[in-house]
Amino acid sequence: MAARPAEIESGGTGPARRRLAPAERTPQILAAALEEFAERGYAGASMAAAAARAGVTKGLIYHYFPGKADLFKAVVRSCVQPVFSEAERMIAAFEGPKAELLRGLIELAYDRVTAERRERVLFKLILAEADRFPELAAFYNAEVLSRGLALVGNVLRAGAASGEFRPEAADAVGLAPVLLAPAIMASIWQMMLGEERAPDLAAMRRAHVDLVLRGLLQAPGPGAPAPPKRLR
């Protein structure tokens, strides 16, 4: 499992045996390193093993990256960036009641949990290594958390301004993280405990959407206490 340097590996077009252009080899190394870091953690990961996963030798990695820490940061950077394009497109394109948009965002977050194990593991990695890499924590804060909070916060403020949500919904500073947290924790529990022992994802999503909309929607009339107009 870790002896032959260049052999069968990440199958694709041509197994790319030798002398690849840096633009082609770099992503191979990054992908292999992501696997290695995800499986063994930062300290537990071995440069030689990461190299073997990529079908190269350790020396070559040092030709592309100055050291282990830099490789780690490069892996993180290469993976976190594209996550938000989807949500941002969604918000930009959406027209309709803010409640529907908010519900869509929450459900998108839960769906994200179901898909792409890699991203989940990466989050765990960032969390675990945050104190050893302060700039990594700063990066996560700027590129992931702040962006997510801003996304939700804008929807909240827009809904409050339009009168669709209760005015308290404009308190995005406190509310936005509260709305994001359950989806993230669902992801974490899935990682820790596995699908069968972790809290039920579908039930969480249902209860989450219901709770949020109940708690935020302006009561339509003075009579009924804001029934959630049967959402999905």
Residues at the interface with a second copy (CB under 8 A): 39-44, 124, 126-131, 137-138, 140-141, 145, 149, 166, 168, 171, 173-178, 180-182, 184-186, 188-189, 191-194, 197, 199-200, 202-208, 210-212, 214-216, 218-219, 222-226
Task: Give the pair of three-digit tokens for residue 68.
Answer: 């282990």
| Min CB(88)–a second copy separation in Å | 20
Say which entry of DNA, a second copy, none residue 230 contacts (CB below 5 to 8 A, set by partner kind): none
Nearer to a second copy, 50 or 175 (CB): 175
| Min CB(120)–a second copy separation in Å | 11
Q: Is 67 in the site for DNA (CB under 7 A)?
A: yes
- Range 99-103 contact pairs with CB under 8 angstroms and sequence separation of 24 or more: 99/159, 99/164, 99/165, 99/213, 99/216, 99/217, 101/155, 102/152, 102/155, 102/156, 102/159, 102/179, 102/212, 102/213, 102/216, 103/209, 103/212, 103/213, 103/231, 103/232
Say which entry of DNA, a second copy, none residue 67 contacts (CB below 5 to 8 A, set by partner kind): DNA
Q: Is 130 in the site for DNA (CB under 7 A)?
A: no
Please give the backbone phi and psi of residue 20, each rounded to the nearest 5 degrees, phi first.
-90, 155
Sign of the dihedral defined by the CA atoms of residues 113, 115, 117, 122, in that order: negative
Please give the backbone phi and psi of residue 57, each rounded to the nearest 5 degrees, phi first.
-110, 165
Token match 């998108």: residue?
Answer: 108
Q: Is 21 in the site for DNA (CB under 7 A)?
A: yes
Task: Give the pair of three-digit tokens for residue 199.
Answer: 């809290």
| Min CB(40)–DNA separation in Å | 9
Nearer to a second copy, 61 or 172 (CB): 172
Q: Is 186 in the site for DNA (CB under 7 A)?
A: no
Three-state SS at 165: strand
Residues that bind DNA (CB under 7 A): 5-6, 17-22, 25, 45-49, 55-60, 62-63, 66-69
